[in-house]
């Protein structure tokens, strides 16, 4: 697109006519405060205690790791079969 094409484009001309909107400073501060409080709550609740199901998470990780090892082994076995090893 050449500069002359941009000036004569009907879609871009209609976009230039749109009004811009912005939030008030008070609203922006309320949003920042709410966002900040959400992040601080998330950080404190993300730590697991032994009574909150850490065993379940550990078992899930072990199962996922075992699944990955089996998948890798089967992939290597099939690749070896294709290449005749």
> What is the C-alpha to C-alpha distance for residues 85 and 40, in angstroms, rounded to an integer?
55
Residue ranges of the domains in the chain?
9-45+54-83
* Residue-level pLDDT at 46: 54
* Residue-level pLDDT at 72: 96
> What is the C-alpha to C-alpha distance for residues 54 and 73, in angstroms, rounded to an integer?
29
* Residue-level pLDDT at 42: 57
> What is the C-alpha to C-alpha distance for residues 10 and 27, in angstroms, rounded to an integer?
35
- Burial status of residue 50 (CB atoms within 10 A of its CB: 0-12, 13-18, 19 or more): exposed
Q: pTM of whole model > 0.75? A: no
Torsion of CA 57, 60, 64, 66, to 10 degrees: 110
Per-residue pLDDT of the chain (85 residues; tens, 9 = 90+): 566 676 778 888 888 888 888 889 999 999 999 988 888 865 555 555 555 667 778 888 999 999 999 999 999 999 999 998 7
């Amino acid at each position: 697109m050449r500069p002359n094409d941009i000036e004569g484009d009907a879609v871009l001309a209609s976009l230039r006519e749109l009004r811009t909107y912005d939030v008030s400073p008070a609203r922006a501060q309320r949003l920042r405060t709410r966002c900040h409080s959400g992040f601080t709550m998330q950080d404190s609740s993300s730590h697991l205690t032994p009574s909150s199901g850490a065993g379940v998470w550990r078992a899930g990780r072990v199962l996922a790791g075992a699944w990955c090892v089996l998948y890798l082994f089967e992939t290597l076995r099939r690749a070896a079969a294709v290449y005749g090893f």
